């Protein structure tokens, strides 16, 4: 069957990784991962959480930033017009808004509480990544809105397929394919870790070079900097 999107130029190129990677981890919180909650316990989401742990660990070893978020509200009145009833129970300070214990155990650098689908909406996530000179984001978790915002903010976007999930496999596959043809490269966790390790090596070398370049010149006995 012909692919009408490909025929019209969608997915016509690969983005590739840029100079520096950051990892964003979206909505791996107990309300979405713990089967004790109405929206929790989806096998695909659970596996995605497990697969995200080594990606975070690799980023931390490489000295690259990891930002995680949970979705939560002060009250239902603070929430958008969700059509998903249990989202209104994601109240700050309740167990449903706690970070999934497996993600918490590996210690993301930053934990944000957001009030919309995207990690970038009304949060400092983009500013933090920009401060860190990140130009490429690996997005894990519940991703579509965050992918679109990262793309709109001019980041290169990478989606490891085994680190993202949804309740329904067919809907998930269609969403992932649509993201791939428009906004992001879809890779796997192993490729993400490999890129992180390579980026970490480049970043360490650049940081060491920067220290040398910015070293205060020693003064000679005559009180002038040595050349």
Indicate which CATH number applies to the domain containing 182.
3.40.50.850
CA distances from 29 to 117, 130, 186 (A): 13, 25, 23
User: In this model, does residue 209 exceed pLDDT 90?
Assistant: no
- On whether residue 11 sits in a domain, the answer given is no
**Average of per-residue pLDDT values in the chain:** 92
Report the pLDDT value the prediction gives residue 214, as an integer from 0 to 100: 55
Report the pLDDT value the prediction gives residue 74, as an integer from 0 to 100: 98
Strands 110-114 and 66-71: what pairing? parallel
Query: Which carries the bigger pLDDT value, residue 217 or residue 33?
Result: 33
User: In this model, does residue 161 exceed pLDDT 90?
Assistant: yes
CA–CA separation, 226 vs 65, rounded Å?
A: 38
pTM attached to this predicted model? 0.90
Nearest by Cα to 26 from 67, 83, 56:
67
For 113, the domain range is 19-203
pLDDT tier for residue 56 given thresholds of 50, 70 and 90:
very high
- On whether residue 224 sits in a domain, the answer given is no
Alpha helices in the chain (DSSP H): 4-7, 30-33, 43-61, 101-105, 125-131, 144-152, 169-182, 189-213
133, 166 contact by CB (below 8 A) = no
- On whether residue 163 sits in a domain, the answer given is yes
* Cα torsion angle, 65, 68, 73, 78, sign: positive
- On whether residue 12 sits in a domain, the answer given is no
pLDDT tier for residue 1 given thresholds of 50, 70 and 90:
confident
Q: Tens of pLDDT along 175-185?
A: 999 999 999 99
CA–CA separation, 226 vs 136, rounded Å?
A: 40
- On whether residue 58 sits in a domain, the answer given is yes
Question: Mean pLDDT over residues 83-89, rounded?
Answer: 98
Point out which residues pair with 22 in neighbouring strands. Answer: 137
User: In this model, does residue 158 exceed pLDDT 50?
Assistant: yes
Q: What is the tally of structural domains in the chain?
A: 1
- On whether residue 219 sits in a domain, the answer given is no
Report the pLDDT value the prediction gives residue 166, as an integer from 0 to 100: 96
Token pair in block for residue 125? 């996530």
pLDDT tier for residue 222 given thresholds of 50, 70 and 90:
low
- On whether residue 173 sits in a domain, the answer given is yes
The percent helix, strand, coil of the chain (3-state, each to 5) is: 45, 15, 40
User: In this model, does residue 213 exceed pLDDT 60?
Assistant: no
pLDDT tier for residue 15 given thresholds of 50, 70 and 90:
very high
Interior CA angle at 125 toward 120 and 126, to 5°? 80
User: In this model, does residue 215 exceed pLDDT 70?
Assistant: no
User: In this model, does residue 70 exceed pLDDT 90?
Assistant: yes
pLDDT tier for residue 202 given thresholds of 50, 70 and 90:
confident
CB contact set of 162 (below 8 Å; sequence gap of 6+): 47, 48, 51, 188, 189
- On whether residue 51 sits in a domain, the answer given is yes
């Amino acid at each position: 069957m012909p692919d009408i999107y490909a025929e019209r130029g969608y997915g016509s190129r690969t983005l590739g990784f840029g100079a520096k990677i950051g990892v964003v981890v979206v909505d791996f919180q107990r309300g979405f991962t713990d089967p004790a909650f109405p929206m929790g316990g989806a096998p695909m989401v659970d596996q995605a959480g497990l697969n995200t742990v080594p990606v975070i660990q690799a980023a931390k070893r490489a000295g690259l930033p990891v930002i995680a978020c949970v979705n939560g509200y002060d009250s239902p009145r603070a929430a958008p017009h969700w059509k998903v009833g249990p989202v209104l129970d994601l109240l700050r300070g309740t167990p449903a808004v706690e970070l999934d214990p497996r993600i918490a155990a590996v210690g993301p650098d930053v934990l944000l509480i957001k009030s919309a689908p995207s990690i970038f909406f009304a949060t400092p996530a983009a500013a933090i990544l920009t401060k860190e000179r990140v130009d490429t984001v690996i997005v894990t978790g519940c991703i579509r809105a965050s992918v679109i915002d990262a793309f709109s903010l001019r980041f290169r976007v990478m989606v490891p397929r085994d680190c993202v999930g949804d309740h329904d496999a067919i809907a998930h596959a269609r969403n992932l394919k649509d993201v791939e043809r428009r906004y992001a490269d879809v890779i796997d966790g192993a490729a993400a870790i490999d890129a992180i390790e390579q980026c970490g090596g480049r970043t360490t070398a650049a940081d060491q070079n920067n220290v040398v370049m910015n070293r205060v010149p020693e003064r000679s006995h005559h009180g002038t900097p040595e050349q």
